[in-house]
Structure 1
Amino acid sequence: MYLKEKIFADELQLIENKKIQGFATYIVNHLPDYFFEVPASSTGKYHSDTCLGSGGLVRHTKAAVMFANSLMNDTENNSGLKSFDFSPIERSKIITALIAHDGWKHGLESSKSKFTTFDHPLVAARKVIELSKDYAEQSECYSLDMIEIGTSIASLIGSHMGRWNTNSRSKEVLPEPNTDAENFVHLCDYLASRSFLDFRFDKNGCSTYRPENFCVQQDIHEEIDAIISAGKAAIERGVSAQLLYDTVYKHSGVRNPKRIKDSKTAQLVKKEIENLVSE
């Protein structure tokens, strides 16, 4: 389990609009675990050395946000370039989009690919819209407004590949950027992916991201106890011990539930055992 919000604490602080900052935090906490582990380039052919290796995709994302923050015009703080003159709410959407633009680069966690999936911009865009609806339901003072914001951010994400929007192995054509904000997000991602540009995060007041520094072990003893209890109940209902062992192994790769290491797997095993009883 990763301390996801903590990993992007610096980037989240750059989001000026508090409503969007809250939504961006919600997105970060729902990014798949693999996002915090994989390199920016699954083949190693692209991106700088800084963004390759374990945790490289997070470092690429941080670099893209660094470019955006440096380039955007902010007259109040006398920073950025006048040619990139966005309003505070537009800047907030742009930062959020860059944080999430590669969030599902290998696809959904349930169907994770070993390599980058061509349609990952659209996968991420759809997830952001989905999360905006969930966030709107949980937030008393937001509703359609939050969904409109999510849709706007999704459009920035969906077109971030720019002219590289076709693939010989896919019939899908990705949208190209049209608005100034969409083109700007593409520019920041493009700059952050150049193999000849290296990044000094410490020069920007940020430490270089290493996954092991933000990974915490979950205490899943209670969930394992729940599996064992569900197994005992299943045996009392006539389910064979062998079938239980096979069920545990199918979803965890181990036959002894006490050897399960993560909460998500433990919950899935428990649910499957409970389903055996109800069948």
Structure 2
Amino acid sequence: MKNALKSLLAIYGVLLLSACENKVEVTTPTTPKLDRFENIVNSGVLRCGYQYWDGGLYQDDQTGELKGFMVDVTEALGTVLDLKIEWTAVIDWGLISTELNTNKIDTFCAAVWLSGKNTKTMLVSDAIAYNGFEAFVRGDDNRFDNDWRKLNDPSVIMAIIENTSSGFISQRILPNASPYGLPPIASTDLDLALNVATGKADVAFTNPGILVSYMKQNPGNIKRVRPGEPFAYMGLTYPVQQDSFRTLHMINTGIKELQNTGVINQLIEKYNVSYPEMFLESAGS
């Protein structure tokens, strides 16, 4: 009797184990996570981070409305892509890649200057237009009038904004100059000019159109080393987060349409009236 009971228990145990092994797990299907491109297309909205720079993007003192070359370009881009442009937040230059890669914004619509080093932290679009990149020194500093190459010396202090395209390219132009780094958060091209004007630095690079208001209001404080002869041509680009290749393709296609239909050239002509030599249609033009 005991042996029979043991046998029955053993058989029951085997059947129970077999049932457990063959049990089918029922799971609730999860909705696949949409990537950034799909979110943009489904919402019909392109979220823009931005920062102020003279001529490129500024706020009307009376109305509070955003204006400037990049505002007009971006709104035109939204039209050809059938997207609403949302001016989401002011972003410090040094935080652009962080805001992109944490999905706070879809792109940075004040534009960043094209630099290979940018691609380590974000993707960048084709150039919309270009800014000439010139050297500026103090108005009474005549050491470099006849030979700009004298700037490329360790005794020359060069103001740069650290970890930015302008800083990277300035150091490539003058690799032997001693960099005087400004923090990327809250520093602007005007700060570069002020550091030269006040004697903290000997030279800085930027676009002459960006400084046109400052130079009119402060004649003689700084001067251009090679007027009308840029040391580089800085492409204005839209950055997106590192893996957003479809978003990048969409933006590049929109840029190409705006260029091919003359929209970009019309905006260049419009803004170069108030900001001479600010924008160029192509590098070297």
**TM-score normalised over the length of structure 1:** 0.23
Structure that is richer in helix per residue = 1
Greater relative CO (CA pairs within 8 A, separation 6+): 2
**TM-score normalised over the length of structure 2:** 0.22
Structure that is richer in strand per residue = 2
